[in-house]
C-alpha cells in the first residue's frame, strides 16, 4: 500500500540496514548476511557492493533449499563485476558474530536515508500496490527498535517485496527529517493521521481507509510513549485498532508499533 517512509530516528534506520554487526565497526560500509538479504541488495542497486564472501565447498550448499539463491547471487556478482571471495565458515561466523549467514556475506556501502523538509501533494503520486490510488506515507515519531521498523517495512506491499521481506528496506524509499513537527506542518494538502489509542475521538478503520484515498501521512509513535504531544498537535485526525470496549485499551497497548502498523495498513488496503 505504501512505499515511502520518513523517520525522525536515523539511528534505527541505519541499524536495520546493517543486517550483520561487525567485529570491528565501520562507518563506511555494511556487512549484509543471508541469501535473501544479499540478493535484495544486489537487485535493488541502491548501494555500491564491494565484494561477496561465499562459503567454500559449493557442493554442500547445493544440497540446501536456498541453493538457487546462491546461484543467483553468483550470477548477479558476475554481471555487476562484484568480486567473489571464497572463504571458510569460521571466517563468515566471525564476520557476522555467529549469526545465521547461510554461507553468504556481502560487504557494501551504507544505505543512508535522504533528508527532506516537506512533501507536496504530488510526492509519491503512485503506490506500489495500486498505481491509481493517492500517495500514502508513513511517518515514524522516534521509533527506536530496528525490528519494529523492519515489521513496518514488511507490511503488505506487493508480492515482489513480500518474497524478500528480509530485504524490504532495500525496496522502499526511506527519508529522514531533523524535526518531525516542522516537517508535518509543512506538508500542505495532506491528511496527517496519528495512530493513537488515547485520543478522545478516533476514526474507525473504514473511515481511515476512506480518508486515505486522499494524500495521507500515517504517524506512528514510540514503542513506549507513543506519539509526542507536539507531534499530535500536527495531526488532523486520529485512528486506532478496533476492539471490544472493555478490552480496547489493553488490547491495543499490548501491540508493538510494528504489529499495529501492519493491521492499519492491511485494513486500509482492504477497505479502500
Q: Are residues 152 and 34 in the same domain?
A: no
Q: How many CA atoms lie within 13 A of 215 on its CB side?
A: 14
Q: Are residues 166 and 249 in the same domain?
A: yes
Cβ partners under 8 Å of residue 60, min gap 6: none
Final residue in a domain of this structure, among 55, 76, 108 = 108
Q: Are residues 118 and 95 in the same domain?
A: no
Domain extent for 155: 4-9+113-271
Final residue in a domain of this structure, among 82, 108, 134 = 108
Overall domain count for the chain: 2
Final residue in a domain of this structure, among 83, 108, 133 = 108
Q: Are residues 73 and 117 in the same domain?
A: no
Burial bucket for residue 224 (CB in 10 Å: 0-12, 13-18, 19+): exposed
Q: Are residues 132 and 263 in the same domain?
A: yes
Q: Are residues 102 and 199 in the same domain?
A: no
Q: Are residues 203 and 176 in the same domain?
A: yes
Give the predicted TM-score (pTM) of the model: 0.76
Packed helices 146-153 and 257-271: angle between N→C axes, nearest 10 degrees? 10
| pLDDT tens over the chain, length 272 residues | 455 777 776 666 666 555 444 445 566 888 999 998 899 999 999 899 999 999 987 545 555 656 789 999 999 999 999 999 999 999 999 999 898 899 999 999 988 888 899 887 665 544 444 556 678 899 999 888 777 777 787 765 443 443 445 677 787 888 999 999 999 999 988 999 999 877 888 888 888 888 888 889 999 998 888 899 999 999 999 998 765 444 334 334 445 777 778 878 877 666 65
Examine residue 14 and state whether it is found in any structural domain, yes or no: no
Examine residue 191 and state whether it is found in any structural domain, yes or no: yes
Amino acid at each position: 500500500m505504501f512505499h515511502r517512509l520518513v523517520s525522525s530516528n536515523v539511528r534505527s534506520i541505519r541499524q536495520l540496514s546493517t543486517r550483520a554487526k561487525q567485529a570491528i565497526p565501520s562507518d563506511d560500509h555494511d556487512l549484509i548476511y543471508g541469501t535473501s538479504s544479499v540478493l535484495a541488495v544486489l537487485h535493488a542497486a541502491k548501494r555500491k557492493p564491494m565484494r561477496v564472501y561465499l562459503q567454500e565447498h559449493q557442493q554442500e550448499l547445493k544440497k540446501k533449499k536456498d541453493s538457487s539463491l546462491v546461484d543467483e547471487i553468483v550470477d548477479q556478482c558476475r554481471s555487476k563485476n562484484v568480486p567473489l571471495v571464497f572463504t571458510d565458515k569460521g571466517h563468515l561466523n566471525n564476520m557476522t558474530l555467529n549469526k545465521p549467514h547461510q554461507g553468504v556475506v556481502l560487504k557494501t556501502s551504507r544505505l543512508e536515508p535522504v533528508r527532506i523538509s516537506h512533501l507536496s501533494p504530488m510526492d509519491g503520486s503512485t503506490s506500489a500496490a495500486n498505481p491509481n490510488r493517492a500517495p500514502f506515507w508513513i511517518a515514524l515519531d522516534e521509533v527506536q527498535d530496528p525490528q519494529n521498523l523492519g515489521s513496518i517495512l514488511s507490511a503488505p506491499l506487493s508480492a515482489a517485496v513480500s518474497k524478500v521481506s528480509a530485504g524490504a528496506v532495500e525496496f522502499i524509499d526511506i527519508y529522514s527529517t531533523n524535526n518531525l513537527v516542522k516537517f508535518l506542518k509543512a506538508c500542505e494538502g495532506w491528511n496527517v493521521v496519528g495512530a493513537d489509542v488515547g485520543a478522545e475521538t478516533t476514526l474507525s478503520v473504514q473511515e481511515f481507509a476512506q480518508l486515505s484515498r486522499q494524500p495521507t501521512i500515517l504517524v506512528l509513535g514510540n514503542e513506549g510513549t507513543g506519539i509526542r504531544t507536539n507531534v499530535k498537535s500536527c495531526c488532523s485526525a486520529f485512528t486506532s485498532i478496533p476492539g471490544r470496549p472493555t478490552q480496547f485499551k489493553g488490547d491495543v497497548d499490548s501491540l508493538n508499533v510494528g504489529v499495529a502498523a501492519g493491521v492499519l495498513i492491511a485494513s486500509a488496503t482492504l477497505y479502500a
